[in-house]
A = this chain, B = another copy of it.
């Protein structure tokens, strides 16, 4: 995929979180979000057994594949291979990027979370396809993260890399346009969609914002 094709695919990027589902099933929330206009889904599971993680990934993959919406697996190369995911997202405590690249088919894209400018600089020599700018704003979903980048930080990242940028952390309809204007190609969200009273409507509102810029 070219940078610009990937950047479009990542435009409105749902990151799943079982904890935030407010009693709905993951599948229901994801499908509502997809109907609302989500363009990419990342499955992130830290508690499930491998068997359950694979089963969940396969179920989502079966729903997303006919819609041509990429499924991205967080951290686990084994699960990504098992469900033929289109992408993998790696953080700083996941498998090193070069190693992951060597284990994945060439068409599977790799996203990588950057937490410092050093990470961004390093990314130039790594086989990564997009960067996750994490966190842009403070967020209750992830508590183990660095100081938020803020809009200024995002602009500084934008200035030194041509890779597609997905911003994550504390994004909602009130600040989404600012984040896009600061240079993000995509907006990633957990609770703004998963925990919305109406995930479809929440996604639709955000998608309209994304399309209007």
Contact = CB atoms under 8 A, between A and B. Distances in A.
B93 A51 contact: yes
A77 interface: yes
A50 interface: yes
A49 B103 contact: no
A50 B94 contact: yes
- What is the predominant secondary structure among interface residues of chain A facing chain B? helix
Contacts of A78: 76-78, 81, 95, 103
Contact of A103 (B82, B93, B94): B82
A99 interface: yes
Interface string A62-79: 000000000000011110
> Which of A75, A82, A94, A103 has the largest number of chain B CB atoms within 10 A?
A82
A82 B92 CA distance: 17
Interface in A77-110: 77-78, 81-82, 92-96, 99, 103
A51 to B, nearest CB: 5
A164 B95 CA distance: 33
Contacts of A52: 93
For the complex of A and B, the 10 pairs showing the least CB-CB separation, nearest first, are A77-B78, A49-B93, A78-B78, A50-B94, A51-B93, A50-B95, A81-B103, A82-B99, A50-B75, A54-B95
